[in-house]
Amino acid sequence: MKTFARINKHNFVSKLLTKRVFLLVAGILATGAGIATATKANATEYTFNVTVPETPVLEVSLKKAGTQTAVTGGSIEVVPTMATASFDEVGVDVIVGTSNANGFNLVMNTTTALTDSSTGATIPSLVADSEGHANGYTCTAATGATCDFTLNSWGFKVTSATTSSYSETNYLPIPSGPTQINSYSGVTDGVTTTFYFGSRVNAAQTPGTYTTTINFIATATIENILYMQDGNLGTILAGMDETKDIGDTFYLYDNRDSKAYLIGKLKDGKYWMLENLALDPNTTTVTLSSANTNMPAQGQTGYDAATAFATTFAKGSDSDGIIKTSGFTSYTVPMINVASKNQKRQLAMLGDTTITDDLRTEPVGVYYNYCAATVGTYCSASDHTDTDSAEYDICPAGWRLPTGGAVTASGGGEFQNLRNKYSSNADFVNALRTPLSGSFDDSSARYQGSNGYFWSSTYYSATIMYTLSVNATNVNPQGSNSRYRGFSVRCVYDGS
């Protein structure tokens, strides 16, 4: 008999703190006089406590650099003179403590440009040019008029007593996408990583308030876990088959954000996610690629579109990013909504809808329009044909969207085929654990608590795809709906 390692869910995955940074560029006074000052916003302390097995705890907080004053944001007011430039900076301590024996990783994720939302003007990141700045730029408020920090740009530097390899003295370009900044091995009451964000501007920069959101993501280092993207997953699950029955469940981790998903081998012999996908730029710690996502690799059809999608995804809630709170009416622009991600809704077909304990509810997850659900590869408005189903999607590498429609000899109709394996609608949805997660249309979540909609990879008509739809009394494994809508994503693994 083969053996396998039992995979238990860790109640914690990662914790996120967000710092919003503002850069105020004032207009030039007639006298040409100018000052450079830094101001900080007042806020209450943010502390996150999350339990992991054997009672490890992860605690994260943000404080004004070098003080015990908690902050949620910072601002820099830079008023340049007509003839010269001014520089200023703001610092924040990110403090991570954990009782996890394996320590933690600290990731920063932000955009590379500051943006004035009223004018659309931007201040770009520093770049590592060929003029000797590969190791960064030096500047202070006192030397702002003459330092080598590129005019009308911004950057960051990091100081830490642990393993961070980032510069403690020189300002560096803002990383593109999620980037690990620091790590620590072992238990600690609190490791401080100090970030400074600075900008140097002159009178050529359009006056305004330039803003971005900086996400600090602390993830516990966990050993002996199994990722959904593991290249040996098929062999490992085959070994588990000898000790697990149909309907048994276990947890696998998505290596893009370290989130654990409940997985079950169902009566069709395939492995299904039993929770809605919740991949969110705010907690994703890597850049999406074919190594971690069901995306085309370089040289495959759709690679350019998928690469552009990964860039848009990483921008999060920026004006040109993927997170949207309105305008969910597009077939051609990838959109997601994360507002309801952690809200729980009643599971379908479980009888008394007044029962809302954890055994009868599941988180809504993230809503994806079809362009987003297919990583930017299935986004044209109306030029698809009946043989043109989606090949790529936002599922973890090795997993995919289920096929929809009628059952076919070639593997079509996986939702319908799975339903056929169960004696009733109730048995089907209880096995799949489908919440009444609703949808996101235009500017609001709809039908939460009454309906659930799940994308398939299968074409229905020019602007419509097959779906699975459920409500409190019925199931439609061959539903269909318009691709602009924000629906839930479930992923399937056939064991190969």
115-127 confidence digits (pLDDT tens): 888 888 888 999 8
Q: CATH number of the domain at 140, please.
A: 2.60.40
Go through 81-118 and write b for each residue having 16 or more CB atoms within 10 A of its CB, e for each that does not. Answer: beeebbbbbbbbbbbbbbbbebbbbbbbbbbbbbbbee
Q: Could you tell me if 203 and 336 lie in one domain?
A: no
Q: Which of 198, 220, 242 is the last residue of a domain?
A: 220
pLDDT(346) > 90: no
Nearest residue to 21 via CA among 94, 76, 88 = 76
What average pLDDT does the segment 273-284 reach? 92
* CA–CA–CA angle 155, 159, 92 (5° rounding): 70
With contact defined as beta carbons under 8 Å apart, do 462 and 482 qualify? no
Q: Could you tell me if 481 and 365 lie in one domain?
A: yes
Residue 112 lies in a domain: yes
> How far apart are alpha carbons 349 and 426 in whole angstroms?
5
pLDDT in tens, 38-71: 222 222 222 222 222 333 456 666 666 777 777 6
> How far apart are alpha carbons 253 and 241 in whole angstroms?
19
Q: Which of 162, 196, 220 is the last residue of a domain?
A: 220
Q: Could you tell me if 443 and 340 lie in one domain?
A: yes
Q: Could you tell me if 268 and 201 lie in one domain?
A: no
Residue 436 lies in a domain: yes
Six-digit token string for 364 = 């809504």
Q: Could you tell me if 195 and 244 lie in one domain?
A: no
Residue 5 lies in a domain: no
Task: Give the model's pLDDT for residue 327.
Answer: 87
The β-bridge relationship of strands 14-25 and 73-78 is parallel
Q: Could you tell me if 304 and 437 lie in one domain?
A: yes
**Residue that the structure tokens 């076919």 belong to:** 408
Q: Could you tell me if 256 and 202 lie in one domain?
A: no
Paired residues of 492 in beta bridges: 272, 400
Residue 157 lies in a domain: yes
Beta-strand ranges (E) seen in 138-226 are 153-160, 179-184, 188-201, 208-220
Instruction: Report the domain count for the chain.
Output: 2
pLDDT(15) > 70: no
Q: Could you tell me if 246 and 371 lie in one domain?
A: yes
Task: Give the model's pLDDT for residue 12.
Answer: 31
* CA–CA–CA angle 224, 229, 231 (5° rounding): 85
Q: Could you tell me if 239 and 377 lie in one domain?
A: yes
- Least reliable range by pLDDT among 102-106, 132-136, 206-210, 318-322: 132-136
Residue 3 lies in a domain: no
pLDDT(37) > 60: no
Q: Could you tell me if 277 and 155 lie in one domain?
A: no
Task: Give the model's pLDDT for residue 36.
Answer: 25
Residue 309 lies in a domain: yes
3-state SS assignment for residue 235: helix
**Residue that the structure tokens 């100018």 belong to:** 34
Residue 355 lies in a domain: yes
Q: Could you tell me if 288 and 420 lie in one domain?
A: yes
Residue 423 lies in a domain: yes
More confident residue, 243 or 288: 288
Q: Which of 188, 220, 252 is the last residue of a domain?
A: 220
Nearest residue to 201 via CA among 31, 41, 24 = 24
Domain limits at 153?
Answer: 14-220
pLDDT in tens, 190-237: 888 988 898 988 888 888 888 888 888 887 766 667 899 998 898 888
> How far apart are alpha carbons 188 and 186 in whole angstroms?
7
More confident residue, 35 or 351: 351
pLDDT(369) > 70: yes
Task: Give the model's pLDDT for residue 228.
Answer: 95
Nearest residue to 77 via CA among 210, 257, 230, 195 = 210
The pTM score is 0.70
> How far apart are alpha carbons 416 and 314 in whole angstroms?
35
Six-digit token string for 490 = 């479930």
Q: Could you tell me if 199 and 259 lie in one domain?
A: no
**241 φ/ψ angles, rounded to the nearest 5 degrees:** -55, -30
Output the CA torsion 351→356→360→364 (10° steps): 110
